[in-house]
């Protein structure tokens, strides 16, 4: 997994994994949904079909993308102040291409959510 600045501004973690054990986006969404459901401190919120939303409003989509989904959830460790509301909930993005998937997320302000999401992606890569 690589840490970089997305759009030259946002700290994101990203990885590209070849198709193999996972052949479509739904299988990866199911993997992450299971991880969320297994963790009592994480609450599943929704799955957002980013590709169809963008198509429905006539938005631009780079050629070669087959699917784009975000799984949205929240870690409930603490609410230290009202600023934290601006950076919640969390999301992991999944972009499907013909031969691979790009998996990414915005770096959260807390170390524990970052470690948990990175571990989930590592487990995905190694499964």
Q: What is the predicted pLDDT for the residue at 86?
A: 87
Place of tokens 């990414």: 104
Beta bridge partners of 51: none
Cis geometry, peptide bond prior to residue 5 (ω within 30 degrees of 0): no
Q: Judge whether 33 lies within some domain.
A: yes
Q: What is the predicted pLDDT for the residue at 61?
A: 97
Q: What is the predicted pLDDT for the residue at 127?
A: 86
- Report the candidate in 127, 90, 121 with the shortest Cα–Cα distance to residue 14: 121
Expressed as residue numbers, the domain containing 73 is 18-97
Q: Judge whether 92 lies within some domain.
A: yes
- Quick one: average pLDDT of 21-31? 97
Would you call 105 exposed, middle or buried from its count of C-beta atoms within 10 A (0-12, 13-18, 19+)? buried
Task: Report the distance separating Cα 94 and Cα 69, nearest Å.
Answer: 5
Q: Judge whether 113 lies within some domain.
A: no
Q: Judge whether 115 lies within some domain.
A: no
pTM greater than the 0.85 cutoff: yes
Task: Report the distance separating Cα 52 and Cα 45, nearest Å.
Answer: 19
Q: Judge whether 126 lies within some domain.
A: no
Task: Report the distance separating Cα 95 and Cα 79, nearest Å.
Answer: 31
Structure tokens at 45: 């919120």
In the chain, the number of structural domains is: 1
């Amino acid at each position: 997994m690589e840490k970089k600045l997305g759009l030259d501004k946002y700290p994101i973690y990203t990885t590209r994994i070849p198709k193999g054990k996972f052949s479509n986006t739904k299988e990866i969404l199911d993997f992450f949904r299971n991880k969320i459901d297994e963790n009592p401190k994480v609450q599943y919120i929704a799955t957002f079909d980013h590709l169809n939303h963008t198509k429905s409003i006539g938005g631009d989509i780079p050629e070669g993308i087959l699917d784009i989904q975000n799984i949205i959830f929240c870690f409930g460790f603490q609410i230290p102040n009202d600023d934290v509301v601006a950076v919640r909930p969390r999301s992991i993005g999944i972009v499907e291409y013909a031969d691979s998937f790009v998996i990414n997320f915005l770096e959260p302000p807390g170390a524990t959510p970052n470690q948990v999401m990175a571990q989930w992606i590592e487990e995905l890569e190694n499964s």
